[in-house]
């Protein structure tokens, strides 16, 4: 009998944390690209002929193909082909989509016959917006696929170790991209004579860097698999454990899956669509310039970045995941109601900053508890598909809500109704956290228990 490998690559702290930094950096660049145009809403409307409805359609386009079924396919690809193939595919899709979006908003594209043809049909949507939306759709496929792939990669590399802390750090690094782009995008735009193109080009180039980083991670992951093979252990695609499409029924029949998925879509529908409009909301509510509003909102992920790793560590060693979800939902409700009523009545920048940073606390509590809890309720063999199906349900909301907010904003001319809509999502998410806690207590999934095994 061959001697078993005593120490695997992911047993070496420096190696597993290096792997985390590589995959988290890719998501950092992705989050930058997602929100690169959020601080430029007013500028792109004045230079490209967009309005709030068009901007809402563009924002929703990131999720359209995912809602149409791509994310379900992505889950099957992830569970059948593994994290290396799927990660490289997703990073490539993000780079291609970013390139198309860059072309769509460029000045020279406006003068092409193809843009004229795009302008000639569905005239409410300019040709630049149609091309940018196409690129954002392709990018969105890669981004959501990458999110699920990274989650499964962390679950693999940190199984029985600091999983929640690792997922918390990955989310913190990714959210740093939101902070960075809220500062960098307006600065690059001003540096290049109020250009919309320059910030998008910069962030599109970073997507290529992210692809390179993930390729380096794949080399490390292949080494880890080879060590397990040498030790006689089962690896990700062992034939006896290989994913079958019929296994999706296991996920769909899980009551806990649906509670988590619905809570996820409601919570994130009050966060990510709000990010698209937050700069403009602060601009019109506080009567300040867009660049100042963007810098103000850049503080949103600050506490989330700081707290998420600590909350992940708390979850690893102390537990209380379901309780954290409840508290996070309550904070989100309070913040959006304050955006609806309190800030317009007292339009002070310091008050806006307090509310924005407090919302960031919610955005650290919920994801820090949510994603490490999924492996507790879903079999590891179908974990990739479970993550993708949760993301798919989430994407339905993320696709429809920006459209809804854009239409409501156009019809009402103010942000009161949109903020009330966001608040209502929080109320429904809070109700689902009660159901989650009841089901966990009944079935014993261990959501309130620590992750680290003593």
Q: Report the CATH number that the domain containing residue 35 is assigned in CATH.
A: 1.20.1250.20
Instruction: Give the per-residue pLDDT at 3.
Output: 46
Between helix 349-377 and helix 321-337 the angle, nearest 10°, is 150
Q: What is the pLDDT of residues 205-226, one digit of tens each?
A: 999 999 999 999 999 999 988 8
Q: What is the pLDDT of residues 157-179, one digit of tens each?
A: 887 777 778 887 888 788 888 88
Instruction: Give the per-residue pLDDT at 235.
Output: 57
Instruction: Give the per-residue pLDDT at 247.
Output: 65
Instruction: Let me know if residue 2 belongs to a domain.
Output: no
What is the rounded distance in angstroms from the CA atom of residue 86 to the CA atom of residue 113? 36
Q: What angle do CA 352, 402, 144 make, to 5 degrees?
A: 100
Instruction: Let me know if residue 453 belongs to a domain.
Output: no
Instruction: Let me know if residue 290 belongs to a domain.
Output: yes
Full DSSP string of 382-396: GHHHHHHHHHHHHHH
The sign of the CA dihedral 127, 130, 134, 140 is: positive
What is the rounded distance in angstroms from the CA atom of residue 234 to the CA atom of residue 203? 39
Residue spans of the chain under pLDDT 70? 1-6, 233-248, 384, 451-454
What is the tally of helices (H) and strands (E) in the chain? 19, 0
Instruction: Give the per-residue pLDDT at 142.
Output: 93
Which long-range contacts (C-beta less than 8 Å, at least 24 apart) are formed by 238-244? Answer: 241/381, 242/80, 243/76, 243/79, 243/80, 243/381, 243/382, 243/384, 243/385
Whether residue 424 contacts residue 71, with contact meaning beta carbons closer than 8 Å, is answered with no
Instruction: Let me know if residue 235 belongs to a domain.
Output: yes
Direct distance between the N- and C-terminal alpha carbons of the chain, in angstroms, rounded to an integer: 30
Tally of CB atoms within 10 A around 384 = 30
Instruction: Let me know if residue 351 belongs to a domain.
Output: yes
What is the rounded distance in angstroms from the CA atom of residue 207 to the CA atom of residue 213? 10
Whether residue 393 contacts residue 262, with contact meaning beta carbons closer than 8 Å, is answered with yes
Instruction: Let me know if residue 1 belongs to a domain.
Output: no
Instruction: Give the per-residue pLDDT at 454.
Output: 58
HSE-up of 75 (CA within 13 Å, CB side)? 24
Instruction: Find the radius of gyration of the CA atoms of the chain.
Output: 22
Task: Take residue 397 and report the two structure tokens written for it.
Answer: 């909301």
Nearest alpha carbon to residue 281 among 267, 268, 300, 264: 300
Nearest alpha carbon to residue 387 among 260, 266, 268, 241: 260
What is the rounded distance in angstroms from the CA atom of residue 330 to the CA atom of residue 92? 38
How far is C-alpha 175 from the geometric centre of its chain's CA atoms?
A: 9
Whether residue 385 contacts residue 76, with contact meaning beta carbons closer than 8 Å, is answered with yes
Whether residue 402 contacts residue 236, with contact meaning beta carbons closer than 8 Å, is answered with no
Instruction: Let me know if residue 454 belongs to a domain.
Output: no
Structural domain count, the chain: 1
HSE-up of 402 (CA within 13 Å, CB side)? 28
Instruction: Let me know if residue 449 belongs to a domain.
Output: no
What is the rounded distance in angstroms from the CA atom of residue 342 to the CA atom of residue 92? 44
Task: For residue 239, give the DSSP letter.
Answer: G
Instruction: Give the per-residue pLDDT at 42.
Output: 83
Helix/strand/coil for 444: coil
What is the rounded distance in angstroms from the CA atom of residue 177 to the CA atom of residue 33? 8
Whether residue 243 contacts residue 382, with contact meaning beta carbons closer than 8 Å, is answered with yes
Structural domain harbouring 199: 9-443
């Amino acid at each position: 009998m061959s001697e078993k490998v005593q120490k695997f690559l992911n047993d070496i702290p420096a190696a597993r944390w290096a792997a985390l930094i590589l995959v988290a950096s890719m998501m950092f660049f992705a989050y930058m690209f997602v929100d690169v145009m959020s601080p430029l809403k007013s500028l792109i409307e004045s230079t490209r002929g967009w309005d709030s409805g068009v901007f809402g359609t563009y924002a929703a386009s990131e999720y359209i193909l995912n809602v149409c079924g791509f994310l379900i396919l992505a889950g099957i690809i992830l569970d059948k082909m593994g994290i290396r193939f799927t990660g490289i595919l997703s990073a490539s899709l993000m780079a291609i989509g970013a390139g198309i979006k860059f072309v769509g908003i460029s000045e020279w594209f406006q003068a092409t016959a193809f843009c004229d043809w795009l302008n000639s049909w569905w005239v409410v949507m300019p040709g630049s917006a149609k091309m940018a939306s196409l690129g954002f759709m392709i990018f969105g496929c890669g981004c959501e696929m990458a999110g699920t792939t990274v989650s499964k990669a962390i679950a693999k590399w940190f199984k029985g170790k600091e999983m929640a802390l690792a997922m918390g750090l990955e989310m913190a690094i990714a959210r740093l991209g939101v902070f960075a782009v809220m500062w960098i995008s307006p600065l690059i735009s001003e540096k290049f004579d109020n250009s919309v193109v320059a910030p998008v080009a910069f962030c599109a180039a970073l997507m290529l860097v992210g692809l390179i980083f993930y390729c380096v991670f794949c080399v490390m992951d292949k080494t880890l698999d080879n060590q397990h093979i040498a030790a006689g252990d089962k690896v990700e695609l062992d034939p006896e454990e290989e994913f079958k499409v019929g296994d999706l029924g296991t996920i769909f029949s899980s009551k806990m899956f649906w509670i988590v998925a619905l809570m996820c879509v409601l919570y994130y529908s009050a966060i990510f669509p709000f990010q698209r409009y937050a700069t403009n909301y602060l601009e019109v509510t506080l009567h300040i310039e867009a660049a100042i509003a963007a810098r103000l909102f850049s503080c949103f992920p600050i506490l989330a970045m700081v707290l998420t790793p600590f909350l992940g560590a708390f979850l690893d060693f102390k537990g209380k995941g379901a309780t954290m979800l409840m508290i996070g939902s309550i904070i989100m409700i309070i913040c959006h109601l304050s955006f609806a009523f309190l800030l317009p009545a007292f339009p002070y920048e310091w008050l806006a900053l307090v509310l924005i940073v407090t919302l960031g606390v919610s955005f650290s509590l919920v994801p820090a508890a949510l994603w490490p809890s999924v492996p507790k309720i879903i079999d590891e063999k179908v974990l990739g598909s479970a993550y993708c199906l949760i993301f798919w349900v989430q994407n339905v909301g993320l696709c429809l809500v920006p459209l809804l907010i854009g239409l409501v904003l156009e019809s009402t001319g103010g942000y009161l109704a949109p903020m009330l809509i966001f608040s209502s999502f929080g109320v429904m998410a809070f109700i689902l956290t009660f159901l989650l806690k009841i089901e966990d207590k009944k079935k014993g999934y261990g959501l309130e228990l620590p992750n680290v095994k003593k």
